[in-house]
Amino acid sequence: MKPPVSNKNSAPHASAKDAPYHPLRPDQIEKLCQQGCTAQDWADILVTDGFQPERVWSTHFSAAVRIGALDKQISFFGGIQEPAGIHHAKIHNCVIGDNVYISNIENYIANYIIEDEAVIRHTSLLAVEGETSFGNGTCARVINEAGGREVPIYDHLTAQIAYLLALYRDRTLTIQALQQMIEQYVQSVTSNMGLIAKGARLIDCWTIKNVKVGPAAVIEGANRLENGTINSTPADPARIGTGVIAQDFIVSEGAQINDNTIIENCFVGQSTHLGRQYSADNSIFFANCAGYHGEACSIFAGPFTVTYHKSTLLIAGLYSFLNAGSGSNQSNHMYKLGPVHQGLIERGSKTTSDSYLLWPARIGPFTLVMGRHYGNCDTSDLPYSYLIESEDESVLIPGVNLRSVGTVRDARKWPQRDMRKTNDKLDLITLNHLTPYTVQKMINGETLLKKLRQRSGDNTKFYYFNSVKIKRSSLENGIKYYQLGTKRYLGNCLIQRLRTLETINLQSIRSALAGETTTGTGAWLDLAGLITPQELIEQLLEQIDSGKIENLEQLRSQFQEFYDNFLNYEWAWVREVFKNYLQVDLSEITPAELIQQVKNWIKVVEELDRLRCRDAHKEFDLSSRIGYGLDGNDQIRDRDFESVMGRAEDNDFILDLKQRLTRKQTTAKELIQRLEELT
């Protein structure tokens, strides 16, 4: 039996059309009275044919109440089973579905639709008062703590839509149109009746006011939940645990909030975990984020933003794929006009223990931040770098992360750590670490470093750029690393096209290398996880302004189209960069020239992989063995180390790195042989 949903402005009053509900029979009323039940007016209580009065006792009913069948057993943790029923409760103006278990309600349940097989046990208060949107429409003051980048949260908010709302404030028409779309949705879910959806469980909770709970959600031990929505599905249930306090919030499918966490004015995305006394306000977290022990204030946490340690503060920033170390901190005001400053740490970066950044600052993709930095640096076009503190200066080592085995490990772990099980994945996430977005920054970085060298001369020991210091050796190596990374990426894309050919001839090659679109040849953007051409976003914004995109569903559909066509847009960009960066026109390339490109590709692959293997082997050198074999000699130390860490030659990651290189070498050899037949 599925209870009917009432009109948002009306209570579930009884009427003839409410069949299969019917009034209680006199014998049922008598039985309920014998079992300690009372009612403001028994005529207001309607039941179905499966209602069993012997399963209801010590309960008071007021206003209109409907109750479904009570004829099954409910399972609890530990293998315990209890009959579905209602006892020791006060129920006011509710629709109760089939085989619901309600027990030991200290105060009352008021104005709720409680769907089939829901469990509400040992809960103090569950009520809705007046009209509410259940957290939808709440504005989170993100990125800039002083305001101006507010994002109205709602059930289906995506990282991409939030990005437009927060970052495109210069486009007044766009922001107004987006806000109107969201307001339409907010109005559609506004009601004076709450919902506990099918199979949801509320156990050992205190106060729950104006909260909507989705199917199969588990709320156990929560302290106080007010004005929010807990979206959930049986395939990917949301969970709220012990001691949680949440106000003005939206929680998405698969999310978990536990261990005395406190959130206010927050959106918690799909499969995001917050726990261990974490606190957050005016912040939005998207898919697969994790926050433990620390604090978030006015942050836009794009997918895979994680912070696991105490004393870590993320404040007034935009992040994605970030790993924040213990004690990481940022400062967003200098005691002048208040907390008006903001910062950006681009995808894939890490902050080490006790690192500090003074906002405003912008950190390029896949950068390791170590130490304290007060210079408002901008390293956006110098990705894959180390930003370290040395003698109170910010020193940049460009491109060095391209040779790091840690970067490779990170790129491989993200697909494995996508925990979303729901079919409707809200956030669109490009997981590749080498994309037109990051590689264009490498090309920009190479150009920038060459200009610095040219401007300052070859005899300069240090170069200065945007408040960072670069050693001469670091500059030269940075140019080399960016060249290696760019050529490897371009070669990867080319080889991927060629290796899928069943037969190789001039016609099949030209067909494989032909571009299916010219979209994507220009600049690319990272929209909180989605890598896509800038021209598409500009077209999208114009469609929003003109009214061609009228609602949120159409907007999500457009983003999905961008995501689905990534490879086509990427290849258009790659073809253009082959022409401009390598001076190779793929539309006219000959087999002999292709052979040379394959040779060039495998050469840079081998060089980078050798550097990465060497980096991995550092984890097995003598300095890594300090503290092993504590009470023995060098031989005992080595045996102890190998028993824990193993040997470099047996390490799974290093073996996999070498095996991948071998496969690439085989691919290159086979392609060259097939191409040589054409020459």
User: 528-542: per-residue pLDDT in tens?
Assistant: 999 999 999 999 999
The highest-confidence range among 70-84, 225-239, 586-600, by mean pLDDT, is: 225-239
Residue 491 to residue 149: CA distance in whole angstroms: 40
Residue 8 confidence (pLDDT) above 80: no
Strand pairing report for 262-268 and 245-251: parallel
Instruction: Evaluate whether 235 touches 251 at the Cβ level (below 8 Å).
Output: no
CB neighbours of 45 closer than 8 A, spacing ≥ 6? Answer: 23, 24, 39, 61, 65, 66, 67
Query: Tokens 């790993």 appear where?
Result: 323
SS3 for 154-169 is CCCCCHHHHHHHHHCC
- Per-residue model confidence (pLDDT) at position 638: 83
Query: What's the mean pLDDT when you consider all of the chain?
Result: 92
Q: What is the pTM of this model?
A: 0.92
Predicted confidence band at 290 (pLDDT cuts at 50, 70, 90)? very high
User: 9-63: per-residue pLDDT in tens?
Assistant: 444 443 334 458 999 999 999 999 999 999 999 999 999 999 999 999 999 999 9
Residue 541 to residue 165: CA distance in whole angstroms: 11
User: 296-324: per-residue pLDDT in tens?
Assistant: 999 999 999 999 998 899 999 999 999 99
Measuring CA to CA, which residue among 425, 438, 492 is closest to residue 231?
Answer: 425
Instruction: Evaluate whether 221 touches 242 at the Cβ level (below 8 Å).
Output: yes
CB neighbours of 190 closer than 8 A, spacing ≥ 6? Answer: 8, 131, 132, 133, 136
**Residue 237 Cα distances to 58, 267, 276, 289, 525, angstroms:** 32, 16, 20, 16, 33
Mean pLDDT, residues 553-570 taken together? 97
Element (H, E) at 556: helix 552-564
